[in-house]
Structure 1
Amino acid sequence: MGYENRERLTALWASEVELYRAARPRSEALWRAALPSMPDGVPMLWMAKWPGPWPVYVDDARGAHFSCVDGLDHVDLCLGDTGAMCGHAPPASVAAIAEQLGRGSTYMLPTADAAIAAGLLADRFGLPSWQFSLSATDANRSLIRYARHVTERPKILVIDHCYHGSVDEAFATLDETGAVVERRGNIGPPVPPAATTVVVPFNDVPALERALRELDVAAVLIEPAMTNIGIVLPAPGWHDALRALCDETGTILIIDETHTLCAGPGGMTQRDNLRPDAVVVGKTIGGGIPAGAHGMTEEFAARVRSSLELEDIDVGGVGGTLAGNAASMAGIRATLGEVLTAEVYPAMIERATEWTAGVQAALDEFGVPWQVTQLGARAEYSFRATPPRDGTEAADADDFELQQYLHLHALNRGILITPFHNMALMCPDTTSADVERHTLAFREAVASLYS
């Protein structure tokens, strides 16, 4: 687990930083020009966490590649951390969005694209009733409110080390005594998390039973496999037990498929025949512009709609004036109907299998005690010998300095992987040659550490 030779790691890091500095003077100039008007010179503070002394500035992105302002070509295995899972600037999505922009982008009124998009999502996920937002975070917040409203229960159950965007209820964890406390780095929490949130470990059925039988949980909010702390797959039977417990206790089950849409056109919900009361999707479904959606069963949707007064429907904390806008609807309709279709998934998954094999080959060659896990078109390695069973095991294997070195090493060789963990995602345009570039670079990085 991890890497013990910190002196060697420090020296390797310094060498990679010098390579980065020499290759990216135009990115440096843009970054320095931005410093007076933006903290750390970036439009969102987390962008300062990319490895290297300043961020890469992108000039143009198409399919699975982008070029930076310094003229360097990159294989993009980050793909906007799923936002560009259908590839950068997919022609069908771009054409639909551009055409709609020419006729107006937002009216606070529906367009014909909305019903088409809802129908496409209903076909994929098996849930008939859909609403739209600007992000998966917004969709999660809406469902949390609806679940509390119809159940008249105060709490939301989440998985320890989960990720659901900036949803307040998800920024909670368990301390060494099992108490619900704030997650590290939680910025300005509105209330102590134990007031709103129940936390259980992933794959822990007894913990689910104890929590749900208190009958104060309105909804369980989960990813069907954890993806933002490394990939953690569900144990056999865990989803069945969760569904049975929700049925027994009258708890709403919400599955957030935003990242796990990599598993197939209907995510793990379709692939594994899961039976949620609601599903959330976001990021990639708009073809590159802000878009999110949530779907509900007929029963859940009826409970929600029948309990809302028309006079108050716009002031209850759900939705916004740009939600369901015409440009987003055009993007979703074109992306789901013409780009991220069932036909493109087999090749995407095959590329992820090749990536996984390349990583495993390097680990085997040098006897490195790390593991790699694949989920559909997504794969990730972590610094432990066996696949993690829950978020704590995945978090305990983290090594930030080692991760930063591996990411910077890849970036210096024209490969971008998802920041802050070691994930690669394939899009319809990713080729075997793109994957091979990572395989060769990763082997070189591992050799630098262990040979």
Structure 2
Amino acid sequence: MNAIAKTALAVGGISSERIARLRGDEAGIFRKARPKSQAKLGNGIAGFLDGVPMHWMKDWPTPFPILVDRARGATITDIDGNRLDDFCLGDTGSMFGHSPAPVARAIRRQAGRGLTYMLPSEDALAIGPLLQEKFGLPFWQIATTATDANRFALRVARAVTGREKILVFNGCYHGAVDETMVRMKDGHAVNRPGLAGEFRDLTRATKIVEFNDIPALEAALADRQVACVITEPVLTNSCMVLPEPGFHEVLRRLTRQAGTLLLIDETHTISTGLGGYTRAHGLEPDLFVLGKPVAGGVPASVWGMSEAVASRYADYNRTKEPGYSGMGTTLSANPLQFAAMRATLEEVMTADNYTHMEHLARRLDAGLTAAIDRHGLPWHVARVGARVEFICAPGPLRNGGEAENAHAPELEAAIHVALVNRGVLIAPFHNMMLVSPATTARQVDRLILAFGDVVGKLSA
């Protein structure tokens, strides 16, 4: 076989044949270690569409989902007794560990007082000032998911600007917000492939440019038709893309010049440090969204706005016709959320915990990088605070298009199953690892050792 043909069969510097062989071998090991789980899950769970409670549970690269018995701290145990060092942590939902003690106490206390009643509890009195203190913006609302929070914030942005269009960056992720489900293909905006039941052209009201592309951003804002730019500070949920120096400063300047609001979605980048990437890097958003870990694993999200936006929204509400705003869900802002969120903000989301997380994340970054270098692979590691990701391509990546091209699903799936068999769980849809306050140096070292072993098998 000539060199060109060999290259065509390689993924991330590893031959497709070797990737398939590793995944097949590791799948057998996985099944053998989980006879109870296979018996209960191997043919799907009765009563659920496609045999799973949520469709993406079928997308885990393991032969069948892991059936969890319990989780505590940074460890998951399945019904077969297999213990896993958990670096997935619910894909950020349990970023501060499973059932942090203050949150568990708060949930037990509130459970005897009622779970939902569409009225505030005393915990709500503490949360408003805590959100102001942690994240800087003066006015807040509670929702149940970051998807909801982003939808509501975008509705406010359109209301106060009188504009329809929003702008996103290629490769973005903001939950299931319809308008953000676009991508760039051959330089043009298109609906993301695979959307179920989508009959609209989402690009009619959404502009899209590449992350870090300042000229394209300036051109897209020039007509002053964009109500809001919605972005993560770092592109995540793909192959991670960090902002280039000065990008956020220019983004803020250009949005202000165009009369466009800026929404920062910190749902994944809250790993950066206390107050998220926004506080760590002095960003000045008009709107701010945080979901997933804000209530320690209880479904909850928050969205905040600046004084100026709040004032403009109050003016809008005084003049709009009466009727339903299109924002809010019945179970949002319930007392269970208040109790768990207060405990998280006061006792879990602390400077000391972030210091611990940052220290061990740097250790993980260095260990994974050393293993990649030792085996001469064209891969790299990206990190934002306690969030670490190995990427099976050269880096750093500059934008969402490069991130899409760097994604290597078959290779990443093989690595994922191999790590599970070595006692380590990472995020299933990308190679993300989180360090929590409960994570130990020993767990980090086990992950580094397991990763080195898997990489060695792939590149032998």
Cα deviation code 1:22-57 (max 9, x no counterpart): 001111122147444223321111111111221001
Matching of residues 331-350 of structure 1 within 5 Å: 331-350=340-359
Q: Give the counterpart letter for 2:161 in structure 1.
A: T
Counterparts of 1:102 and 1:311 in 2: how far apart (Å)? 41
User: Residue 226 of structure 2 corresponds to which residue in structure 1?
Assistant: 217
Whether 1:183 aligns to 2:192 is: yes
Greater shift, 12-21 or 301-310, is seen at: 301-310
- The residue aligned with 1:142 is 152
Q: Is the 8 A contact 1:16 1:408 kept in 2?
A: yes
Report the Cα distance in structure 1 between the residues aligned to 2:199 and 2:286, rounded to whole angstroms: 28
Offset at 1:313?
7.3
What is the rounded CA distance, in whole Å, between the counterparts of 1:105 and 1:312 in structure 2?
A: 34
Superposed, 1:230-269 pairs within 5 Å as: 230-269=239-278
User: Aligned-pair distance for 1:124?
Assistant: 1.6
SS in structure 1 opposite 2:369?
helix
Query: What percent of counterpart residues are identical?
Result: 46
Q: Return the alpha-carbon distance in structure 1 between the equivalents of residues 98 and 416 of structure 2.
A: 21
Residue of structure 1 in register with 2:411 after alignment: 402
SS in 2 for 1:290: coil
C-alpha deviation, 1:289, in angstroms: 0.8
8 Å Cα contact 1:168-1:189 kept in structure 2: no
Between stretches 113-122 and 417-426, larger displacement belongs to 113-122
Q: How does 1:151-162 map onto structure 2 within 5 Å?
A: 151-162=161-172
Residues 313 and 357 of structure 1: CA distance in aligned 2, closer, same or farther (over 3 Å): farther
**What are the equivalent positions in structure 2 for 1:93-104 lying under 5 Å apart?**
93-104=103-114
Aligned to 2:332: 323
> Could you tell me which of 31, 56, 78 is aligned with 1:21?
31
For the residue of structure 1 that corresponds to 2:378, the secondary structure is coil
TM-score by length of 1: 0.97
1:193 aligns with 2:202: yes
Q: Distance in 1 between matches of 2:128 and 2:283?
A: 19
Choose which of 166, 173, 181 in structure 1 pairs with 2:183. Answer: 173
Give, in angstroms, the shift of residue 190 of structure 1: 4.7
Deviations 1:54-77 (A, max 9, x none): 100110101100100000111000
Given that residues 2 and 398 in structure 1 are in contact (C-alpha distance below 8 angstroms), is that contact kept between their aligned partners in structure 2?
Answer: no
Q: Which amino acid aligns with 1:409?
A: A
Amino acid at match of 2:457: S
Aligned residues: 450
Report the counterpart of residue 277 of structure 1 in structure 2. Answer: 286
Report the residue type matching 1:57 in the other structure: L
Does the residue aligned with 1:70 lie in a helix, a strand or coil? coil
For residues 214 and 180 of structure 2, what CA distance do their matches in structure 1 show?
A: 19
**8 Å Cα contact 2:13/2:377 also seen in 1:** no
Tell me if structure 2 keeps the 8 A contact 1:220–1:254.
Answer: yes
> Which of residues 143, 149, 167 in structure 2 aligns to 1:133?
143
Asked if 2 retains the 8 angstrom alpha-carbon contact of 1:291 and 1:328, the reply is yes
State whether residues 32 and 41 of structure 1, in contact with CA within 8 Å, keep that contact through their aligned partners in structure 2.
Answer: no
Could you tell me whether the CA contact under 8 Å between 1:225 and 1:233 is conserved in 2? yes
Distance (Å, rounded) in 2 between the aligned partners of 1:313 and 1:135: 26
| Stretches of structure 2 lacking an aligned partner (at least 5 in a row) | 1-10
TM-score by length of 2: 0.95
Q: Distance in 1 between matches of 2:428 and 2:43?
A: 24
1:26-41 correspondence to structure 2 within 5 Å: 26-32=36-42, 34-41=44-51
With over 3 angstroms needed to count, the CA separation of the structure-2 counterparts of 1:190 and 1:219, relative to structure 1, is farther
Aligned to 1:296: 305
SS at match of 1:381: strand
Aligned partner of residue 317 in structure 2, secondary structure = coil
Gaps of 5+ in 1: none
1:149-192 CA-partner distances (Å, limit 9, x unpaired): 1111111101101000000111101110x221011222222520
Give the alignment's Cα RMSD to 1 decimal: 1.5
